Amino acid sequence: MSDSKPDSAVSDTLMIEMRQVHKWYGQFHVLKDINLAVYKGERIVICGPSGSGKSTMIRCINRLEEHQRGQIIVDGTELTDDVKNVDQIRREVGMVFQHFNLFPHLTVLENCCLAPIWVRKMPRREAEDAAMQYLEKVKIPEQAKKYPGQLSGGQQQRVAIARSLCMNPSIMLFDEPTSALDPEMIKEVLDTMIELAESGMTMLCVTHEMGFAKTVANRVIFMDGGEIIEQNEPEEFFNNPQSDRTQLFLSQILEH
């Protein structure tokens, strides 16, 4: 399944498995027969034209979207209608959104502590200490007492990453994390993500940042029309794309 070259960070433990997954929005067939296996420590970049189903696919992994046919197994737990399984998986899977989705009525620190305290039942003091560590990791501990509205976009996105990490997830999903940012702020967020990748986190990232894909990813997936058209290690993917659609897409985004 995975064509990745031997990579010391990637183990052979299966983290996510999607088998013949289909999804429809009303009459519209958004995901068609998706088969994907993600191993522990993999950094996967998913790209493709808008409307190709990339976001929908990763949103199925933590059940923000429901798939209608096929199987999704995350860290040994299958996603079904069983709320217990869904809760279990959401605790293991962190997600970073395009528009940050920080909670505006809570301070940065409260944003980070909320889920550990209420979902993981961690004592407040402990949760705050952990949150401060993650805020230091994303390099904004000094903003802990501020409200999200007082931060720049790049800072907010780094807080959002720290907030997800506070739940100590084994998988991180990124849904176009830099698309809503001003150009000068993209780098600080990508740097944070690169550091995260180097720490061995399993990551799935929908993004148009091809530079990020080249440096960080061990596998690039190209989607179009709700299907996985092609997947390969970055070098091969960019230098030697197999399908016409991939070639067309790459020529459109890399040409200027």
Partner 1 sequence: MSTFEPHPDLPPPSTSVGIVGWLRSNLFSSWLNSILTLVAAYLVFLTVPPLLEWAFFKADWVGDTREACDSGGACWVFVGVRMNQFMYGLYPESEYWRINLAGFLIVALVVPLFIERFRWKLWLGLFILVGYPIIAFLLFSGGVFGLEHVETSRWGGLTLTLILASVGMAASFPIGVLLALGRRSTMPIVKSVSVVFIEFWRGVPLITVLFMSSVMLPLFLPEGTHFDKLLRAMIGIALFQSAYMAEVVRGGLQAIPKGQYEAAQALGLSFWKSMGLIILPQALKLVIPGIVNTFIALFKDTTLVLIIGLFDMLAMIEAALADPKWLGYAIEGLTFAAFVYWVFCFSMSRYSMALERKLHTGHSR
Nearest-angstrom CA–CA distance, 43 and 199: 11
173 neighbors 93 (Cβ within 8 angstroms): yes
Cβ proximity to partner 1, 55 vs 246, nearer residue: 55
Q: How far is the CB of 252 from partner 1 (least distance, A)?
A: 28
- The DSSP code sequence of 45-113 is EEE-STTSSHHHHHHHHTTSS--SEEEEEETTEE--S-HHHHHHHHHHEEEE-TT----TTS-HHHHHH
Least separation in angstroms between CB 62 and partner 1: 6
Least Å from the CB of residue 122 to partner 1: 13
In the complex with partner 1, the residue whose CB is nearer, 156 or 246, is 156
What is the contact surface with partner 1 in residues (CB under 8 A)?
62-64, 87, 90-91, 93-95, 97, 99, 101-105, 114-115, 118-119, 147-150, 163-164, 167
- What is the CA 25 to chain-centroid distance, rounded? 22
Complex with partner 1: residue 134 or 237, whichever CB lies closer: 134
Which one, 164 or 202, has the nearer CB to partner 1? Answer: 164
Provide, rounded to whole angstroms, the least separation between the CB of residue 106 and partner 1. 8
Please write down the long-range contacts of 181-185, taking CB distance under 8 Å and 24 or more positions apart: 181/153, 181/154, 181/157, 182/153, 182/154, 184/154, 185/152, 185/153, 185/154, 185/157
CB of 247 to partner 1, least distance (A): 34
**Which of 102, 130 has the CB closer to partner 1?**
102
